[in-house]
């Protein structure tokens, strides 16, 4: 009897030890799945498309990849997707070379397309199955998204007969229905009417709230500003600006003083030797520092009556134009 009790205690202790060990290991061993691109280069013939690119996207972070057409964004994305091989450097996911077999990617390309003679549901099931989903799961997930994006009425309609906006919704579903580890959205709002754009913005915002790891490439700076934690600005294949939006804006080389007055300010501003832009009733003056801005406001107050004054960081759009505009 005594032996049985001892054996029982040992058995329970053993099970507990295994459970604790596994839990401990699971916690300790859970790897952070981040994307690291180190010193990557890519040429197309003599054209150096991507130059010494280094970029990182932390788990649960949304990063904006910005730049004009031909800046190297799509080439970078294609290298992440494994469609193009980098000539040097490395692309890693969770500390290991990125392999398509070990990561579920959700990609919404800038150039979009669907099978025009296939109906919406069949097409989504097909795409879902290609991502490893069972037919049943793919159908369930597709229907869920179709319902959410309000396109139920076109379920059995050939996608070629749908409007561009609805086709874009289908493509977004195809990109995210398999719950990818990394979502890459290339110009997700291009060609959408304001209602559909807002709907897709809400979906994107949900992804961000769910802490999905995302790369967001867009020309719509206000979208990037509202969604992304950090941005990379590319020009001629190189990163010319990177960091968190707050840092970029506050540490950027200028600020804007916005002034509104009951009387014209042109003469006073010329007298103070400042460059300005007039936007309706408002005057916008670019200054290098906050102190310069404050000094300008004080000077103007002593000359004219000011209705409204404010000092603001440059918008991302202004920085974009300043940095990559010719």
Partner 1 sequence: MRNFQLVFKQSFREKVTSKSFLMTTLALILFSIFAISLPSILENFSSPKGEVVVISNATDIEVSEIQQTLTSWMWEGAEPNQLSFFKQEAQEGKILGLYVIDENESNYFVNYYSKSNDVNLNSELSMYLQAKNVQKIALDHNLSAADQQSLFVPVVMEKGEFTAKNEVSVFVTYIMLMFILMAIMMYGTTIATGVASEKASRVMEVMVTKVNPLSMIFGKIFGIALASLLQFTAFFGSVALYLKSGIVEPAKSLGKFELNLSALTVYHCIYFFIFFLLGYLLYASLYAVFGSMVSRPEELNGTTTPISILLMASAFSGILFVIDDPTSTLSKFLATFPFTSPFNMIILVMKDAASLVEISISIGLLVITTFVFGYFAAKVYPKGILHFGENLKLRQLIMRKS
Helix (H, G, I), strand (E, B) or coil at 117: coil
CB 227 within 8 A of CB 216: yes
- Which of the stretches 103-111, 221-229, 254-262, 316-324 binds partner 1 when contact is defined by CB under 8 A? 103-111
CB of 296 to partner 1, least distance (A): 50
Buried b (16+ CB within 10 A) or exposed e, 273-301: ebebeeeeeebebbbeeeebbeebbeebe
Terminal Cα-to-Cα distance of the chain (whole angstroms) = 89
Check binding of 203 to partner 1 (CB under 8 A).
no
Burial class of 219 by CB neighbour count within 10 A (0 to 12, 13 to 18, 19+): middle
Q: Which is nearer to partner 1, 170 or 241 (CB)?
A: 170
Query: For residue 69, which phi and psi values (nearest 5 degrees)?
Result: -60, 135
- The sheet carrying 306-312 orders its strands as 276-279, 282-287, 255-261, 306-312
For partner 1, the binding residues in 155-194 under the rule CB under 8 A are 171, 174-175
CB of 300 to partner 1, least distance (A): 53
Q: Which is nearer to partner 1, 14 or 116 (CB)?
A: 116
Q: Which is nearer to partner 1, 158 or 225 (CB)?
A: 158
Pairwise CA distance, residues 242 & 232, whole Å: 4
Check binding of 120 to partner 1 (CB under 8 A).
no
Record the tokens describing residue 11, joined without a space: 């058995």
CB of 220 to partner 1, least distance (A): 20
CB of 295 to partner 1, least distance (A): 53
Please select the residue that binds partner 1; options are 93, 107, 145, 216, rule is CB under 8 A.
107
Check binding of 115 to partner 1 (CB under 8 A).
yes
CB 290 within 8 A of CB 313: no
Helix (H, G, I), strand (E, B) or coil at 144: helix
Check binding of 116 to partner 1 (CB under 8 A).
yes
Pairwise CA distance, residues 53 & 35, whole Å: 13
CB of 147 to partner 1, least distance (A): 22
Q: Which is nearer to partner 1, 174 or 257 (CB)?
A: 174
Record the tokens describing residue 133, joined without a space: 């989903």
- Which of the stretches 84-92, 198-206, 235-243, 317-325 binds partner 1 when contact is defined by CB under 8 A? 84-92
CB of 155 to partner 1, least distance (A): 18
Check binding of 127 to partner 1 (CB under 8 A).
yes
Q: Which is nearer to partner 1, 135 or 288 (CB)?
A: 135
Q: Which is nearer to partner 1, 87 or 267 (CB)?
A: 87
Greatest Cα pair distance, the chain, in angstroms, is 104
Count of alpha carbons within 13 angstroms of residue 239, beta-carbon side: 19
Which residues lie near partner 1 (CB under 8 A)? 43-44, 78, 81, 83-85, 87, 100, 105, 107, 109, 111-118, 126-127, 129-132, 171, 174-175
């Amino acid at each position: 009897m005594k032996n049985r009790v001892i054996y029982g205690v040992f058995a329970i202790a053993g099970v507990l030890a295994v459970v604790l060990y596994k839990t401990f290991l699971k916690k300790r061993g859970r790897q952070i799945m981040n994307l690291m691109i180190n010193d990557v280069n890519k040429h197309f013939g003599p054209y150096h498309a991507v130059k010494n690119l280094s970029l990182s996207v932390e788990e649960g972070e949304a990063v904006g990849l910005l730049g004009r057409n031909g800046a190297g964004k799509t080439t970078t994305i294609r290298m992440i997707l494994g469609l193009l091989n980098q000539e040097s450097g490395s692309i890693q996911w969770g500390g290991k070379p990125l392999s398509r077999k070990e990561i579920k990617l959700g990609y919404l390309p800038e150039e979009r397309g669907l099978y025009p003679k296939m109906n919406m549901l069949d097409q989504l099931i097909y795409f879902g199955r290609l991502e490893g989903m069972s037919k049943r799961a793919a159908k369930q997930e597709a229907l869920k998204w179709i319902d959410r994006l309000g396109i139920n009425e076109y379920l059995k309609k050939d996608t070629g007969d749908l409007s561009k906006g609805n086709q874009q919704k289908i493509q977004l579903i195809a990109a995210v229905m398999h719950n990818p580890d990394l979502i890459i959205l290339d110009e997700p709002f291009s060609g959408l009417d304001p209602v559909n754009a807002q709907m897709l913005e809400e979906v994107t915002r949900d992804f961000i709230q769910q802490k999905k790891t995302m790369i967001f490439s867009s020309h719509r700076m206000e979208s990037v500003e509202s969604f992304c934690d950090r941005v990379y600005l590319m020009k001629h294949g190189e990163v010319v600006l990177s960091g968190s939006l707050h840092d970029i804006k506050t540490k950027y080389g200028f600020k804007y003083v916005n002034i509104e007055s009951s009387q014209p300010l042109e003469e006073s501003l010329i007298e103070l030797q400042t460059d300005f832009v007039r936007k309706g009733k408002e005057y916008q003056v670019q200054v290098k520092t906050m102190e310069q801005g404050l000094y300008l406001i004080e000077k103007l107050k002593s000359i004219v009556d000011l209705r409204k004054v404010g000092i603001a960081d440059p918008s991302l759009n202004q920085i974009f134009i300043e940095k990559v505009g010719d």
